[in-house]
Amino acid sequence: QVQLVESGGGLVQAGGSLRLSCAASKNLYHFTRMGWYRQAPGKQREMVAIFVRGSDLNYQDSVKGRVTMSVNNAENTVTLQMNSLKPEDTAVYYCYAQRGPVDLWDFWGQGTQVTVSS
């Protein structure tokens, strides 16, 4: 029932910026958690930024100061602004949402590729 569609990925040079967007088919208040994960080839999927309703916004330590997540309730979108990108940031980035709190359901976008060249 829920669809998450990412956009904004691409190829940039080290030090450049990208802004990723996630469009949800439901009002964002349906979700208990919203955020972004990423997965590089040969590595495990890791959390980049996550918002828990009623709590604070959390970032992975490696991206703090370079990444900002924001929510646009009017357009049902979640964005991830990434600055000062490094080759180590190269990965497929996935939008994530969880609906709860009683019966938990996880939803994932199709992913958008981010490639940072040296």
pLDDT, tens only, 68-87 = 999 998 999 999 999 999 99
> What pLDDT is attached to residue 84?
98
Cα-based torsion angle of the residue sequence 109, 114, 63, 28 in order, rounded to the nearest 10 degrees: -20
Whole-number Å distance between alpha carbons of 98 and 85? 28
Residues of the chain predicted below pLDDT 50: none
Is there a cis peptide before residue 87, judged by omega within 30 degrees of 0?
A: no
